[in-house]
Amino acid sequence: MTDTLVEARGLTKRFDDLTAVDGIDFDIHQGEAFGFLGPNGAGKTSTMKMITTVSPITEGKLTVFGLDPTTQGRSIRQRIGVVPQEDNLDLELTVSENLYIYGRYHDMSRAEINPRITELLEFAQLSDRRDSTVEPLSGGMKRRLTIARALINDPDLIILDEPTTGLDPQARHLLWDRLYRLKRDGATLIITTHYMDEAEQLCDRLVVMDQGKIVAEGSPRELIEQYAPREVLELRFDDEQRDDAVIKMDGVAARSEVLADRVLLYTDDADDTQRALHDRGVHPEQVLVRRSTLEDVFLRLTGRRLID
């Protein structure tokens, strides 16, 4: 298929005795936002590093733009933009110098770079910071600058590794808004995240990774429909009542998860389930009804939570 930008078959990465990525298959198409969802250590970053050609693959097949990362890494890197997990901006340099250096690395001339910087700073809402040093910028501003830097070469593929980790909610929403704009303008995005809301907000399609393997694949909606009933009842109990309640609740919902601080009941109709609980004499301290999310999918697939 001509519109497949990244293709992986049996992709594997081993470090000595640790298998970070364990034979995964995926295709990423032109114009989509593709997510890798999973907890820390699932192998997402190792996968990104292989795609961006900064980590050699151990086994399997990987092509990016139909090119081989082992022998054609430079041609691949010319056409991608990378937003790494940890900011690696030059703090002592100015905002525009940071962009300028990357433009030069991408073989752009000064005449090409300067208008591009103006454009990108506008996009990143940093126009008034053009000549200030990076050091005093807020975390959100630094992230936006890192994204602007990744866009300097007008990449065909943008790779964002945990783009909003460590940002406050307001900065996250601002960043998501910028990423939406990229999507709307037709960019192809690869996003890794351990935030399910981020994956739901941004990704057209995603894979769920755990311990180096892909455990599920689909759109956020499909995954939720497939792996989690529509609604979730979150129940909190007194410590004494909890064990008793758990026994009484057996079978009341399609599925249940007993977590340290609460019990989750998965159901297609929360009202029905609540009535059933009442009939069985279960009286939780607190009840919260919500829609199923990718977090529930992950819990279902791995038996663990995304963020501990």
Contacting residues toward another protein, per CB under 8 A: 15, 52, 54-56, 73-74, 77-78, 80, 82, 84, 86, 88-93, 97, 100-102, 104-107, 133, 153
Q: Which H helix or E strand runs over 205?
A: strand 205-210
How near is the Cβ of 64 to another protein at its closest, in Å? 13
Residue 94 carries which DSSP code? B
How near is the Cβ of 65 to another protein at its closest, in Å? 14
- Structure tokens given for 167: 């940002």
Q: Write the CA distances from 158 to 1, 35, 183, 203, integer angstroms.
A: 20, 12, 10, 13
Angle, nearest 10°, between helix axes 139-150 and 95-105?
A: 20
**Nearest CB to another protein, comparing residues 106 and 262:** 106
The Cβ of residue 230 has, within 10 Å, a number of other Cβ atoms equal to: 14
How near is the Cβ of 8 to another protein at its closest, in Å? 18
Q: Tell me, what amino acid is at 276?
A: A
Q: Which H helix or E strand runs over 97?
A: helix 95-105
How near is the Cβ of 92 to another protein at its closest, in Å? 5
**Nearest CB to another protein, comparing residues 73 and 218:** 73
**Nearest CB to another protein, comparing residues 88 and 226:** 88
Angle of CA points 197, 209, 60, to nearest 5°: 140
Q: How far apart are the first and last CA of the chain?
A: 40
How near is the Cβ of 138 to another protein at its closest, in Å? 19
**Would you call 16 helix, strand, or coil by DSSP?**
coil
The Cβ of residue 170 has, within 10 Å, a number of other Cβ atoms equal to: 9
**Nearest CB to another protein, comparing residues 49 and 172:** 49
**If you search the block for the tokens 């609980």, which residue do you land on?**
277
**Nearest CB to another protein, comparing residues 96 and 302:** 96
How near is the Cβ of 94 to another protein at its closest, in Å? 8
**Nearest CB to another protein, comparing residues 89 and 246:** 89
